Amino acid sequence: MILSSEQEAALIAAARAAGENAYAPYSDYQVGSALLFDDGAVITGSNVENASYGLALCAETVAVSRAFGEGRRGGLVAVAVTGPLDKGDGAPITPCGRCRQVLNEIAQLGGTDPLVLCVGKDEVRRVTLSELLPHAFGPSHLV
Ligand code: THU
């Protein structure tokens, strides 16, 4: 799905706002994520770290679990992911491998291939989830 520049800007702003609530005291790397659904709803998440470092939850995974918790089982049309502006080389942040798989679950349930807006300092990279996770394993394999 193609979003208007206003829709993209609003989704990115929602991800950025969510990132401000990130609990990332160990990495100091605050991530925000915003999911846009086909009814216009936006569900956000931010990363939640843990003193047991390996238990960190990524922003995208938090957002997807919130969406499932609200009863959503598809309809995902776009995702925005933002990272801190003062870290790294400013390249667009892309969802980690686990998050790609987690996003795929809700996408495949609804038969969509969401646009993923990977936000960098001066650039937004627009890719589809299937480009990030080709030949995905998903719920359709289990029926
Ligand atoms: N992180 C995310 O929230 N999403 C990603 O897709 C990549 C990484 C978080 C996990 C951890 O809290 C911090 O970024 C540094 O890896």
For residue 140, being part of any structural domain is answered with no
User: Domain of 110: which CATH number?
Assistant: 3.40.140.10
Query: Is residue 114 in some structural domain?
Result: yes
Domain that holds residue 82: 5-135
Give me the amino acid identity at 25: P
Q: Tell me, rounded to whole angstroms, the distance of Cα 34 from its chain centroid.
A: 6
Give domain status of residue 141, yes or no. Answer: no
How does pLDDT run across 72-116, given as a tens digit for each residue?
Answer: 999 999 999 999 999 999 999 999 999 999 999 999 999 999 999
What pTM value is reported for the model?
0.98
Do the Cβ atoms of 30 and 84 come closer than 8 Å? yes
Q: Is the CB of 59 under 6 A from ligand 1?
A: yes
Evaluate whether 79 touches 37 at the Cβ level (below 8 Å). Answer: no
Report yes or no: 64 and 35 within 8 Å, Cβ to Cβ: yes
Does 102 contact ligand 1 (Cβ within 6 A)?
A: no
Residue 138: φ, ψ to 5°: -160, -170
At residue 116, the 3 state secondary structure works out as: strand
Q: How many domains does the chain have?
A: 1
105 assigned to active site: no
Q: Where are the alpha helices (DSSP H) in 3-142?
A: 5-19, 59-69, 97-110, 129-132
pLDDT score of 2 more than 90: no
